Amino acid sequence: MSDARKIGLEIFEAMPKQAPSVFRKDFWTGKVMEWSMRDEAFKLEMFRFVDVFPVLRTPEQVAGHLKEYFCRPEQDFPVWIRFGLESVSAGSLVARAAASQIERNIRGMAADFVAGEDAASALPKLIASRKAGIGFTVDLLGEATVSEEEADTYAARYADLIDTLADAAEAWRPVPALDDAPWGEVPRVNVSIKVSSLYSQLDPIDPDGSLAGVRARLLPLLQRARRRGVFVNLDMEQFALKELTLALFRSLVEDPELGGYPHLGVVLQAYLRSARDDARALCAWAKRGGHHITVRLVKGAYWDYETVHAQQQGWPIPVFQNKWESDASFEACAKILLDHYPNVRPAIASHNVRSIAAALAYAEEKGVPAAALEVQTLFGMADALKVAVQRRGVRVREYVPVGELVPGMAYLVRRLLENTSNEGFLRARFAGAADPETLLRDPAAGGRAATSDPTPESEFVNTPNTDFSVAARRESVAAAIGAVRGRLGGHVPLTIGPATVDTEARLERHNPARRSERIVTTAAATREHADQAIRAGYEAFPSWRDRPARERTAVIRRAGELIEARRDEL
């Protein structure tokens, strides 16, 4: 019996037998899960409705949207709700009552996953978790601000989060399982920050400007956290911001203004194809510099977005397309992190018992003490797993979102999708009743990456836009800009058919982003020049028209190849 399998079976055995509330059918959320897993069409409409719900201001609007989404012949919405919607108008008493009940249920469902609207309102749940021996990291819902005013608001909310929680923590009794580690005291307050919330112009096309913009708001927050003894973790968001986030984290750890503060962490996403390389590079940097950092290892929460966005742009998909590949990557990354203890303090963030068991087994093999590890789960999910892991002497921490309902809906829908996914671990265990032996199989055993046929040579595919999150592409474009800037200020005549034609009159062309910079002067074409160009086109047309289509195609393709070869210069 492998150690991972043995530990996994022990975790399953230690779990309380009751299903999590999100899968219990006597709860509203459990009913939604059951309907969503039974009917994909219902799941789509339900999540669409949940997503739009926060902007519905009146019971009539709620009832109207319910009728639009669910009272269609092809829908099988539960009878007890259809009764209130099908045969009555949206403004009727019955429809209003049904809409009011739905509203209460959705708000209750959101409360299952979101602890409160702000730090103060979340405190009772955080304190209750701590009394149960479970730590927390608090996250403000929402990301990707669109104005500097909004970014200032987020910075102020993070400051309030740090101060409110730190003030409350002063009165908390010690919990050794949470507060003590082999390297010393673990901060009682732990906050997760999304980089994109602190600077509205964050863009990989401008890494230096983006880092400066984020640091202007983040550094004061970290100095505040250091004074109050608060742990700060930088969340990882979409793939385009990965390199920026890692570069920002390294710069903060090395920043003399923070004095080597040891309570800083960052996230790695195992579903990225680059995950192993990212883990190796981060660990090597920490060891080389003598730093002590926490790394939260997650599977990743943006799989659908990353896949669709890359396909839309024509870029390589950055995430694994098979679940077993992400699971295998997770285990491999966990080993890399554990290999670099104590410079790296791993936080294993997963609800997958196999993933957790594999990490715990390797930690035992490497002699890493249980008290040095941390297993992180999501607030409102996997309660039985938390109890089982606690019993092994491993610190457990919940990722606890805090915020208003509107930004909370995107988070809520992600959690619902996660729970109802056909390949999700929790669904397989508690809704699909999969046996532990099946769930504890090595993900790499028997897995085979899907292959895809290359695009046929005859098929036309547009050249993708430049992906500026790739450092090599940024450097290439920057080099081309430098080279072209050295050739500015020349003159371009007209080309009419085979002839080059110039004029005494000249037109000046300026850089629209820097009006003082003249790009070039050109000849000033007259109406006579335009007529000459049209005649030249008519004269050339017959020979082009009569050329075989394959030859014309080859000419156009060759033109495209020449343009692409000089893409950055152009």
pLDDT digits 0-9 by tens, 510-537:
999 999 999 999 999 999 999 999 999 9
pLDDT for 61: 82
Read off the DSSP letter of residue 290.
Answer: T
pLDDT for 94: 66
User: Could you give the CA distance from residue 454 to residue 99 in angstroms, rounded to a whole number?
Assistant: 51
**DSSP letters along 496-511, please?**
ETTEEE--SSEEEEEE
At residue 36 the predicted structure's pLDDT band, cuts being 50, 70 and 90, is low
At residue 416 the predicted structure's pLDDT band, cuts being 50, 70 and 90, is low
pLDDT for 50: 75
Task: Kindly tell me if the per-residue pLDDT of 42 is higher than 70.
Answer: no
Q: Name the one residue in this structure whose structure tokens are 């505040």.
A: 224
At residue 215 the predicted structure's pLDDT band, cuts being 50, 70 and 90, is very high
Q: Which residue has the higher pLDDT, 475 or 48?
A: 475
At residue 71 the predicted structure's pLDDT band, cuts being 50, 70 and 90, is low
Relative to beta strand 506-511, strand 184-185 is: unpaired
Mean pLDDT of 405-418: 66
Mean pLDDT of 118-130: 95
Q: Which residue has the higher pLDDT, 359 or 63?
A: 359
Q: How many CB atoms lie within 10 A of CB 420?
A: 23
Instruction: Give the tens place of pLDDT for each residue, 475-496.
Output: 999 999 999 998 999 999 999 9
Q: Which residue has the higher pLDDT, 94 or 52?
A: 52
Instruction: Give the tens place of pLDDT for each residue, 260-277.
Output: 999 999 999 999 999 999
pLDDT for 422: 47
In single-letter form, the type of residue at position 150 comes to E
In DSSP terms, 494 is beta-bridged to 501
pLDDT for 393: 93
Mean pLDDT of 361-388: 93
Mean pLDDT of 107-136: 90
Mean pLDDT of 308-332: 95
Mean pLDDT of 353-374: 95
Percent of the chain with pLDDT over 70: 83
**DSSP letters along 238-262, please?**
SGGGHHHHHHHHHHHHT-GGGTT-S
The overall average pLDDT reported for the chain is: 87
pLDDT for 482: 92
Crossing angle, helix 405-420 and helix 93-113, to 10 degrees?
80
pLDDT for 52: 82
C-alpha angle 215-194-374 in degrees, rounded to nearest 5: 110
Q: How many CB atoms lie within 10 A of CB 281?
A: 13
pLDDT for 80: 53
Residue 40, class by beta-carbon neighbours within 10 Å (0-12 exposed, 13-18 middle, 19+ buried)?
exposed
Task: Kindly tell me if the per-residue pLDDT of 567 is higher than 90.
Answer: yes
At residue 198 the predicted structure's pLDDT band, cuts being 50, 70 and 90, is very high
Q: Name the one residue in this structure whose structure tokens are 């609207």.
A: 117
User: Could you give the CA distance from residue 105 to residue 78 in angstroms, rounded to a whole number?
Assistant: 14
